[in-house]
Chains A and B, each alone.
Chain A
């Protein structure tokens, strides 16, 4: 690197994953102006927390929840992100990288963070459809597709049963990843068998006793475990139907997950002629054999070791950034790491060397009734290893003793009982300020307490945002909460972990939706029962949300519950402050006619409607209609062909248009006809919040399409599609979603985008807030980049519309008794 160059150095990062982006963050905190930065990522989105794929598979989190850096993050920092293009070649002489699609970028410094690949055993049949690894979100999506019996491209599962309509899954490998995959698939309704070569599960992390307890816990959850088995072949003709074991047994299977380990991804550095052993070899400064090229993460080999856990990778990121920015002459020293299993309800922790051997002494506590096993291994009066199963609450205390190498001879008698006995005080209070609470992000107790005090933090989310503690794998959440409790005392409300949907439940929106879908809950009472609501029939917050979620999940099956809708949607009109209503008929694309205007004028006169106003959405609003008049006004309007404009609903509202090429000298396309086609497709759709569309006929954008939930702007060569804008208190301009050529594509993209919003946004979340939360990249990846997914979303939208396009005014005008008083008494 040329330290004296007047311009900023060009840094290229190969690998848009956790290691690469963490190093990037560390570089930016040290020297925000030193580099102009380009990031290449093979996956078509921003960066996400790979550790949390297991909870996504288990349905406990959504992909959006685990995205850590969306496209805006890169844009805000003027970092170029080339997502969806793997790097194919490094030319070290010219100092240029070339992407698989031909993009080239020169570099002064290059950082390799290519990660690792799952090891796929070269068994007969290993290439059959239905054999997946467990590495990225694409693997999770592939697995989830197999969990949905009706959602699979290759037909229903061959081995399904009544108990397991999704069929059978076999997970090869009983280590951390394999067991998390097994848990997730089991939660999704598959019958799961784990095959493990060794005699006990997770033998690298657990002693045989703990492993036995784990096996029993998994079996109690319906996961079958076979140990000391070797897989001989994967069976099937054109897709997986089972596995054959070396002992002759055969097991039926629709899905095989290979989780036997990972292998550093080294094709690129090897081809570039860098020194490669098991991984790309780095020195203590994280520098490869080429001094202009650094490497971090699971792709590296450091002093003969390769890595698979996150904590050492965070350390590497810091060391690498120190050296790249010349902040410090730092050297990476491997530290001991702890492991947890992310299987809900199974509490376990393991760190260090628990195997015993010469000079090692073990202290063991076993409580069979509670399913608790604790094993501490001491060497030279220091804690050398710890395994906690069934109760890992004290893991932080033990891990700290292990890492600091403290002499524990004075504590020895009580050591196994944890800090509440041995340390004099309980849990986190007993820890020194230097004790590391969050292993993933290297956050100490002292740093968390300081952040709580300095910034007045009161919630777990605030601590996460400020310190990153508990924001990765989440396994230290209990300890962070205990610190909040310790710091704030009675002021801390520990229940605010996931924001509950309402006060009737502790479950959040996403968990409730997942349960409705996965447990096939089809009525509000069924949801309340299944999820243990604390109220007999919900409240005014949860009932409308549940009604929407059920309506969205089960189109045509779920019967809309009027009593769970807000008054406007129940009355199909907007209530005004004096208790009267406003009536707005639909005007397709803002176009009306003499007959429609006459019908409106007649109604205004007949019912003595006090105010008539043109709305911002190119429609006509009749204000001051009484409750009793509503069905009569509707009947008259219906007679002229006017239908409900849904101006009162969390629903498709208006499609605003300009006159377009039919009349305007600037118009490039027929925006009015396009708007009408969109409105005809979308009207009647119920959505998490209101949805407004607009179509402009040229980039002058007279229809203001770039502040709409979905905006279309005609250009010479086709249509620009814009998403997630709104007016309102805080104006948000749309993000460009895609550019398409034909009207059919506009309709398909619009339907797919709205369906994704319908399926994944939380109730009362506008598209703008939803996209801010999940990132436009996530939306693009699923609506734009993935043709099959877009087609499937659009199809689901149209299917839902086949039930939704039913004019409520016509329906209600026929049964108008409920709009009148029940009685008059004197």
Chain B
């Protein structure tokens, strides 16, 4: 996935609307899924509900400290990380180097080391640490109490 559109970024992140009915992802029809998959392939910012609203994806305790779990999204697998200090971050589960699954990496500080070739990716900005160069798409994620909520790509 390429870098996301900064306009959407501003719109999606500054005024996220919490979904009423915590824990209930919005029902989506088959048609919408296929539409979203197509738009993903085209890197279009025109997502459905995923981009527009926060969705509950689980509880903080579902992810071990210094660990990650994956969420299937129209943008592909997203790795949601929980750091030692109980902050959550979400990145595309795909190392910019050779596509290693970042959700399988070792989490340390606010970074994850890719299991394939030890690239170190910053969880906060998705950038690879020097001397490597590359960037992973980020996703909006936040905690509502202990409930983790995910929104669209940043």
Contact = CB atoms under 8 A, between A and B. Distances in A.
A570 B105 CA distance: 10
14 contacts: A536-B109, A537-B66, A563-B66, A563-B67, A566-B115, A575-B101, A575-B115, A822-B62, A822-B80, A823-B71, A824-B71, A825-B25, A826-B28, A826-B74
The 10 A-B pairs of least Cβ separation, nearest first, read A540-B113, A822-B69, A826-B28, A567-B104, A823-B57, A563-B66, A540-B106, A824-B72, A567-B115, A537-B84
A566 B146 CA distance: 27
A491 interface: no
Interface in A523-569: 535-540, 543-544, 562-564, 566-567
B105 A540 contact: yes
A79 to B, nearest CB: 44
B71 A822 contact: yes
Contacts of B113: 539-540
B: contact size bracket: 35 or more
B105 A567 contact: yes
A822 B77 CA distance: 11
A152 interface: no
Interface stretch (B1-9, B10-18, B48-56, B130-138): B48-56
A571 interface: yes
Contacts of B45: none
B106 to A, nearest CB: 4
A577 to B, nearest CB: 8
Contacts of A570: 104
B20 interface: no
B33 interface: yes
B92 interface: no
B123 interface: no
B63 interface: yes
Interface string A562-590: 11101100110001000100000000000
Interface in B72-113: 72-74, 77, 80, 84-85, 101, 104-109, 113
Contacts of A564: 66, 106
Contacts of B66: 537, 563-564
Given A537-B109, A567-B104, A575-B115, A822 B63 contact: yes
A817 B61 CA distance: 12
Interface in A773-787: none
Nearest to A579: B101
Contacts of B80: 822
Contacts of A544: 106
Contacts of A567: 101, 104-105, 115
B150 A825 contact: yes
Nearest to A539: B108
Contacts of A566: 106, 115
Contact of B70 (A539, A562, A575, A822): A822
Interface centre among A538, A818, A822 (most CB of B within 10 A): A822
B71 A818 contact: no
A537 B101 CA distance: 21
Contact of A822 (B36, B49, B50, B57): B57
Nearest to A561: B66
B90 to A, nearest CB: 11
Given A540-B118, A567-B115, A825 B109 contact: no
Contacts of B41: none
Contact of A537 (B48, B49, B77, B108): B108
A826 B108 contact: no
Given A537-B84, A822-B70, A825-B73, A543 B106 contact: yes
Contacts of A825: 25, 49-50, 55, 57, 71-74, 150
A826 B67 CA distance: 24
A537 B50 CA distance: 33
Contacts of A538: 108
Nearest to B112: A540
A544 B50 CA distance: 36
A817 B70 CA distance: 12
A543 B115 contact: no
B32 interface: yes
A821 interface: yes
Nearest to B100: A579
B70 A563 contact: no
B118 to A, nearest CB: 6
Given A537-B108, A579-B101, A821-B71, 10 more contacts: A536-B84, A536-B85, A540-B105, A540-B113, A540-B120, A543-B106, A563-B66, A566-B115, A824-B71, A825-B71
A540 B106 CA distance: 6
A826 B33 contact: yes
A458 to B, nearest CB: 19
Contacts of B57: 822-823, 825
B146 to A, nearest CB: 14
A817 B72 CA distance: 15
A824 B32 CA distance: 14
Nearest to A524: B66
Nearest to B66: A563
Interface centre among A567, A575, A823 (most CB of B within 10 A): A823
A579 B32 CA distance: 28
Nearest to A562: B64
A563 B71 contact: no
B24 to A, nearest CB: 11
Given A535-B109, A564-B106, A566-B115, A826 B25 contact: yes
Given A537-B84, A544-B106, A563 B69 contact: no
Contact of B49 (A539, A571, A817, A826): A826
A821 B69 contact: yes
Interface string A30-69: 0000000000000000000000000000000000000000
Contacts of A575: 101, 104, 115
Contact of A571 (B28, B50, B77, B104): B104
A402 B32 CA distance: 90
Nearest to A542: B108
Contacts of B26: 826
B142 interface: no
A538 B70 CA distance: 23
A536 B69 CA distance: 22
Interface in A274-315: none
B104 A823 contact: no
A342 B87 CA distance: 47
A820 to B, nearest CB: 9
Contacts of B72: 821, 823-825
A563 B109 contact: no
Nearest to A535: B109
Contacts of B84: 536-537
Interface string A138-180: 0000000000000000000000000000000000000000000
A582 to B, nearest CB: 15
A563 B65 contact: yes
A536 B109 CA distance: 6
B75 to A, nearest CB: 10
A822 B107 CA distance: 17
A426 to B, nearest CB: 34
Contacts of A823: 25, 55-58, 71-72, 150
A563 B104 contact: no
A82 B147 CA distance: 71
Contacts of B25: 823-826
B88 to A, nearest CB: 11
A821 B57 CA distance: 10
B69 A818 contact: yes
A566 B64 CA distance: 15
Nearest to B85: A536
A540 B74 CA distance: 30
A18 B13 CA distance: 71
Contacts of B105: 540, 567
A563 B62 CA distance: 14
A361 to B, nearest CB: 59
A566 B65 CA distance: 15
A818 B63 CA distance: 8
Interface centre among B48, B65, B80, B108 (most CB of A within 10 A): B108
